[in-house]
Amino acid sequence: MASQRVIVYGGRGALGSKCIQHFKSNGWWVASIDMAANEEANENVIVKLSESFTEQAGQVTADVAQLLGEHKVDAILCVAGGWAGGNCSSKDLYKNTDLMWKQSVWTSTISSHLAARHLKPGGLLTLAGAKAAQSGTGGMVGYGMAKAAVHQLCQSLAAKNSGMPSGAAAVAILPFLKMYDKKLHIASDGSGISYITIHSRNQSCLPAGVTLDTPMNRKFMPDADFGSWTPLEYIAEMFFNWATGTNRPASGSLMQLLTSGGETQAVAAQ
């Protein structure tokens, strides 16, 4: 096993795959956690579908412990997530909220426990939040609740007695969503992540401007301004820099990704 190691939760998705490629190209050992294997990873932990959080969390935790043994990792990148809309009057409110919780809160919580158990002192944990969840999200209630919970988790992990290893940092990225009122047959999460793919039908409020530049987002929004979308390569390189101690934000930071004219900046959310 290489001396530097990273776990990518959501490693089969567009962003997760790019992270695996980037870290491997720099000589790191990489493990993917997802519902299907990423063949480019050194090792894979396959998540079993379950309606029970404790059951799924226990399975992933046990499988990762068996995989790593006594080895510690330098970074855990949680890039699992998804998107579904709907307000409080939606017939799909319960279903979509349940999905959002599974995709964002379950995965982030599991990742935090993996960090407590397997991250090296001074290591890095990243989580996937959302800029929209910093205020009310009337047209996507479940999504907003789940992402706000991720923000809270990130800040809690930076607090005293969080259980994180000494000197380790938890940082969340916040993709930005512009909203519009229109009915579509498919929508993509701002992260472009495929941990569980959601096809949301007949929602009244959907993302119009998605920051992450993924093949799926380009396919379904061919007329968008791609110059305002954040390249996956930028995020993978940013994570790599943070993992190696370069320009790493303080633990608990919520980092917006702002792209304009093909130039991207990571800026602390206010």
Report the distance separating Cα 3 and Cα 95, nearest Å.
43
Q: Is 143 a catalytic residue?
A: yes
Catalytic residue among 143, 180, 195, 234: 143
**Entry field: residues in the chain:** 270
d(CA 214, CA 195) in angstroms, rounded, equals 14
Active site (catalytic) residues? 143
